[in-house]
């Protein structure tokens, strides 16, 4: 027999919808030791959050996130609000003895991220950060092949994330343009790429960066969020990396790319073709020089066995279903991965990139953390 696990979601926007979808489908794709029940969802506007609750299949709604935290039927608090609110909600949740899943970035600065991660660790509750793209079959396969040494020793890593969501200068001011609430583009979009870099390659020692805000005022208010940033990474392993993040690229809806170059080969992932992974093997005969396309849908590939027969593909929503299934599979003891400590590690690299751009210099990550960079890990 399985027990019910009460889910409380804080925030009813796109992420709240995606997470609710994940919990709803998780028991349908994998045998789990528990059954998630969507108990309550919160939002600032009563009518809107009530409509969301009805649409997402949540039992009830509230306009106060503290009602979610204090609800005795809630076992897991799922934080899907703007980044500037994350740390406070996480700390209140773990203090109430609730497990926590928090959307990325964990906070808008490293000190807040560390405080939230430490609070969860001290409370001894399962906790996770929402780096959902780890759960795409193709990216999970990419990580597996790197770990197996299929590209040899990693020399270079690069990640690019391009969108056009800030391109129109007439978009009115909202929370996304205020760093204290919405976080920088480096910390928001960049958090996913930095997580993938740490996961696949290991710790980052030092960074350099540049940033620009092209529309500096909206609705008569100053914009203090970067619209485009790029950075250079030096890994503890000796590998080098580069990343680019931009929200002003016309006709780029949500395009990101990750490539790893090693002594034996290259792996490349392109989100517009998210069921595919490209592999160039140095050991191939010269007449086969180039890349092969891997359909990351075979039952031997990560996550693929839970879904459709090869050739049918999966999409964005699958990442949230896989995420929910992975966490619930380890209920109630955990541990959950990636945890909030990983969120703080990512935040440190992002903050170092922000500082490097502002001060126009190379910045060591330990300048942000105040601690030596740990031995490299890809957990």
CATH of the domain at 234: 3.30.360.10
Task: Work out the average pLDDT over 306-330.
Answer: 97
Structural element, H or E, at residue 234: strand 228-235
Calculate the alpha carbon distances from 89 to 33, 64, 68, 127, 179 in Å.
27, 11, 10, 13, 18
Positive or negative, the CA dihedral 50, 54, 57, 59 is positive
Please indicate, yes or no, whether residues 245 and 118 belong to a single structural domain of this protein: no
Please indicate, yes or no, whether residues 62 and 190 belong to a single structural domain of this protein: no
Would you say residue 110 lies in a domain? yes
Please indicate, yes or no, whether residues 19 and 129 belong to a single structural domain of this protein: yes
Please indicate, yes or no, whether residues 156 and 291 belong to a single structural domain of this protein: yes
Would you say residue 41 lies in a domain? yes
Phi then psi dihedrals of residue 54, to 5 deg:
-65, -45
Asked whether the predicted pLDDT for residue 284 surpasses 80, the reply is yes
Would you say residue 125 lies in a domain? yes
At residue 375, the 3 state secondary structure works out as: coil
Buried b (16+ CB within 10 A) or exposed e, 140-169: bbbbebbeeebbeebbbbbbbbbbbbbbee
Domain limit, last residue, from 84, 111, 133? 133
Would you say residue 377 lies in a domain? no
The model's pTM is: 0.96
Q: How would you classify residue 149: left for phi > 0, otherwise alpha for psi between -120 and 50, otherwise beta?
A: left
pLDDT bin (cut points 50, 70, 90) of residue 18 is very high
Please indicate, yes or no, whether residues 213 and 284 belong to a single structural domain of this protein: yes
Would you say residue 317 lies in a domain? no
Please indicate, yes or no, whether residues 56 and 141 belong to a single structural domain of this protein: no
Structural domain count, the chain: 2
pLDDT at 373: 72
Please indicate, yes or no, whether residues 22 and 143 belong to a single structural domain of this protein: no
Q: How many percent of the chain have pLDDT more than 90?
A: 97
pLDDT at 185: 97
pLDDT tens column, 201-212: 999 999 999 999
Please indicate, yes or no, whether residues 46 and 165 belong to a single structural domain of this protein: no
pLDDT at 273: 97
> Rounded distance, CA 340 to CA 256, Å?
24
Would you say residue 177 lies in a domain? yes
pLDDT at 371: 86
Would you say residue 260 lies in a domain? yes
List, in order, residues 6 or more apart from 8 with CB less than 8 Å away. Answer: 39, 40, 41, 42, 68, 69, 71, 74, 76, 77, 78, 98
Please indicate, yes or no, whether residues 179 and 105 belong to a single structural domain of this protein: no
Phi then psi dihedrals of residue 295, to 5 deg:
-80, 105
Task: Work out the average pLDDT over 21-26.
Answer: 98
The candidate with the shortest Cα–Cα distance to 352, out of 198, 246, 121, is: 198
Half-sphere exposure of 30 (CA within 13 A, CB side): 24
The CATH number given to whatever domain includes residue 114 is: 3.40.50.720
Do the bridges between strand 3-10 and strand 34-42 make them parallel or antiparallel, or are there none, so unpaired? Answer: parallel
Domain range for residue 84? Answer: 3-133
Please indicate, yes or no, whether residues 162 and 80 belong to a single structural domain of this protein: no
pLDDT bin (cut points 50, 70, 90) of residue 376 is low
Please indicate, yes or no, whether residues 140 and 163 belong to a single structural domain of this protein: yes
Q: Helix, strand, coil % (nearest 5) of the chain?
A: 40, 25, 35
At residue 370, the 3 state secondary structure works out as: coil
Asked whether the predicted pLDDT for residue 1 surpasses 70, the reply is no
pLDDT at 378: 54
> Rounded distance, CA 15 to CA 85, Å?
14
Contacts 24+ apart (CB under 8 A), 303-312: 303/135, 303/136, 303/137, 303/140, 304/137, 306/29, 306/30, 307/29, 307/137
Rg from Cα positions in the chain: 21
> Rounded distance, CA 103 to CA 133, Å?
12
pLDDT at 197: 98
Task: Work out the average pLDDT over 329-340.
Answer: 97
pLDDT at 377: 53
Domain limit, last residue, from 133, 165, 182? 133
Task: Work out the average pLDDT over 251-260.
Answer: 97
pLDDT bin (cut points 50, 70, 90) of residue 375 is low
Would you say residue 288 lies in a domain? yes
Asked whether the predicted pLDDT for residue 372 surpasses 90, the reply is no
Please indicate, yes or no, whether residues 110 and 176 belong to a single structural domain of this protein: no
> Rounded distance, CA 208 to CA 242, Å?
9
Within 10 angstroms of residue 97's Cβ, the number of other Cβ atoms is 11
Asked whether the predicted pLDDT for residue 69 surpasses 90, the reply is yes
Task: Work out the average pLDDT over 275-287.
Answer: 97
Domain limit, last residue, from 133, 152, 180? 133
Asked whether the predicted pLDDT for residue 327 surpasses 70, the reply is yes
The candidate with the shortest Cα–Cα distance to 2, out of 29, 49, 37, 47, is: 37
Within 10 angstroms of residue 48's Cβ, the number of other Cβ atoms is 14
List, in order, residues 6 or more apart from 78 with CB less than 8 Å away. Answer: 7, 8, 9, 10, 16, 19, 100, 101, 102
The candidate with the shortest Cα–Cα distance to 78, out of 184, 5, 27, 177, is: 5
pLDDT tens column, 86-114: 999 999 999 999 999 999 999 999 999 99
């Amino acid at each position: 027999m399985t027990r019910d696990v009460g889910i409380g979601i804080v925030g009813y926007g796109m992420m709240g919808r995606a997470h609710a979808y994940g919990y709803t489908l998780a028991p349908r794709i994998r045998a789990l030791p528990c059954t998630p029940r969507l108990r309550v969802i919160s939002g600032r506007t009563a009518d809107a959050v009530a409509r969301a609750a009805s649409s997402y299949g949540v039992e009830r709604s509230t306009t106060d996130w503290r009602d979610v935290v204090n609800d005795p039927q809630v076992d897991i608090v799922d934080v899907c609000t703007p980044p500037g609110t994350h740390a406070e909600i996480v700390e209140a949740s773990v203090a109430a003895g609730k497990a926590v899943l928090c959307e990325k970035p964990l906070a808008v600065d490293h000190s807040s991220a560390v405080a939230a991660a430490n609070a969860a660790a001290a409370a001894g509750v399962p906790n996770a950060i929402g780096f959902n793209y780890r759960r795409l079959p193709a990216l999970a396969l990419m990580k597996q092949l790197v770990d197996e040494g299929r590209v040899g020793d990693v020399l270079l890593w690069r990640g690019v994330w391009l969108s056009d969501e800030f391109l129109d200068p007439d978009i009115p001011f909202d929370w996304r343009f205020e760093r204290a609430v919405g976080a920088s583009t480096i910390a928001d979009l960049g958090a996913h790429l930095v997580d993938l870099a740490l996961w696949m390659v290991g710790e980052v020692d030092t960074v350099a960066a540049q940033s620009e805000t092209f529309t500096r005022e909206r609705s008569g208010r100053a914009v203090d969020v970067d619209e485009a940033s790029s950075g250079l990474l030096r890994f503890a392993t000796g590998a080098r990396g580069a990343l680019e993040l931009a929200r002003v690229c016309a006709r780029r809806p949500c395009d990101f790319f990750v490539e790893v170059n090693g002594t034996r080969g290259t792996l490349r992932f392109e989100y517009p073709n998210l069921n595919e992974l490209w592999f160039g093997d140095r050991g191939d005969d010269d007449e086969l020089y180039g890349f092969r396309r891997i359909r990351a849908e075979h039952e031997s590939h990560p996550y693929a066995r839970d879904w459709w027969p090869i050739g049918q593909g999966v999409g964005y929503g699958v990442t949230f279903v896989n995420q929910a299934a992975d966490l619930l599979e380890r209920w109630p003891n955990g541990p959950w991965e990636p945890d909030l400590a990983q969120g703080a590690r990512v935040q440190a690299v992002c903050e170092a990139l922000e500082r490097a751009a502002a001060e126009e210099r190379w910045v060591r990550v330990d300048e942000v953390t105040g601690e030596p960079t740990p031995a490299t890990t890809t957990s």
